[in-house]
Amino acid sequence: MAWVITRLCRDCVDQSCVDVCPVDCIYEHTGEASDAFPNQLYIDPEECINCGVCEPECPWEAIFEDEQVPDVFTDDTPLNANIVDAADDRQVPEHLEKSTPTPQQISDNKEKWGYTG
C-alpha cells in the first residue's frame, strides 16, 4: 500500500509534504510538459513506506491512502505509479515557501475537480 497525490495538488504544488517524507519518495516531473505528467507532485509507490506523515501536511488535502482515493480521483492512482518509469525525468523538489491556502481556496479547488468529500 502507498499514498497517492491526487489532482487536488495540480497547479497548487505546495511541497509541505516533501519536507516531512522520511524516504524522499515525493517527486516533481522534470521532463517535457505533457498530459502524462501534469503540474503536480507524485508519490513513487515502490519507494513509499506507508508512514502517512505526508497526508496531514498537505494544505490542499490532496493526499490519500491508495485504497481510500475517492472515486472522482480514480485515475490519479495509476498516474502516481507512472512516476516509477520516469526516473530520468524526476527529482525531489526543493521546498519553496508558499502561502497557506484559505479555507475558501481549498473548497473552490475541490469544487473545481468535482470532489465534495
At 33 the pLDDT is: 66
Place of cell 468529500: 117
The CA distance from 99 to 44, in Å, is 26
Domain-embedded: residue 92:
yes
Instruction: Going residue by residue through the chain, which has 117 residues, state the pLDDT in tens, using 9 for 90 and above.
Output: 799 999 999 999 899 999 999 999 999 999 986 778 999 999 999 999 999 999 999 999 999 999 999 999 999 999 999 999 999 999 999 877 888 999 999 999 999 999 987
Distance, CA of 107 to chain centre:
17
**What value, to the nearest 5°, has the Cα angle with vertex 72 and ends 42 and 41?**
10
* DSSP run (H or E) holding 111: helix 103-112
Domain-embedded: residue 105:
yes
Domain that holds residue 98: 3-110
Domain-embedded: residue 87:
yes
Q: State the Rg of the chain over Cα.
A: 13
For residue 54, the 8-state DSSP code is: S
Domain-embedded: residue 115:
no
Indicate which CATH number applies to the domain containing 95.
3.30.70.20
Domain-embedded: residue 39:
yes
The CA distance from 70 to 117, in Å, is 8
Q: How many structural domains is the chain composed of?
A: 1
Domain-embedded: residue 77:
yes
At 116 the pLDDT is: 85
User: What SS3 state is found at 21?
Assistant: coil
Domain-embedded: residue 59:
yes
Domain-embedded: residue 116:
no
